Amino acid sequence: MQSIRDSVENYIKENIPLTKTLDVKIIQLDQTGAVFSAPLEPNINDKSVGFAGSIETLLTITSWGWLFALFLKVDPKVQLYIRRCSFEFNRPVEKDLLAFIDTPDNDTIGRFFADYKTSGKARISIKAFIGEKNDPDSEFSGTFVALSMNSRLLLLNR
């Protein structure tokens, strides 16, 4: 049986082809957090530092992948969407890209799953960063929406 980390890594490589090009790897993934990586070499820009588009993608997929992993045991057919996000680039990234989740507190996660169980939809804000948590090189903040297949079908048929 595959670990959750392996299941998520295989899923993103099969369903999000860009992750193969960026050479995304999952270093750590569990309910306490996530660490995803990508080597600098294929993600470099003309200034020999991390390309902003690669950094944005890695931070987004780290956040999405962590949330997707939480759902694997709850509802593996969940539809996860990013509703809104923003990025900040505080300084150039000059080494391999290493993205960390700033895990929401347990109450926030609990409310998120309670909303999902009750209505088939929920939203949660997630933050991720490259560098040090208190002084990150790059930052991501995003709101994700989870929809059950039934909720998604109702929205599509409006």
* pLDDT over 70 (residue 41): yes
Q: Band the pLDDT of 157: cuts 50, 70, 90.
A: low
Note the pLDDT of residue 73: 86
DSSP 26-60: EEEEETTEEEEEE-SGGGB-TTSSB-HHHHHHHHH
**How many other CB atoms are there within 10 angstroms of residue 86's CB atom?**
9
* pLDDT over 90 (residue 158): no
- Model confidence pLDDT, tens digit, residues 137-154: 999 999 999 999 876 555
Average pLDDT over residues 117-139: 96
Q: Band the pLDDT of 2: cuts 50, 70, 90.
A: confident
Q: Any idea what the CATH number is for the domain that residue 82 is in?
A: 3.10.129.10
Domain range enclosing 71: 4-156
Q: Percentage of residues in the chain with pLDDT exceeding 70?
A: 95
Q: What's the mean pLDDT when you consider all of the chain?
A: 94
- Count of domains for the chain: 1
pTM score, whole prediction: 0.93
- Model confidence pLDDT, tens digit, residues 76-114: 999 999 999 999 999 999 999 999 999 999 999 999 999
Q: Which residues of 1-20 are buried (b: 16+ CB within 10 A; e: fewer)?
A: eeebbebbbebbeeebeebe
Note the pLDDT of residue 155: 54
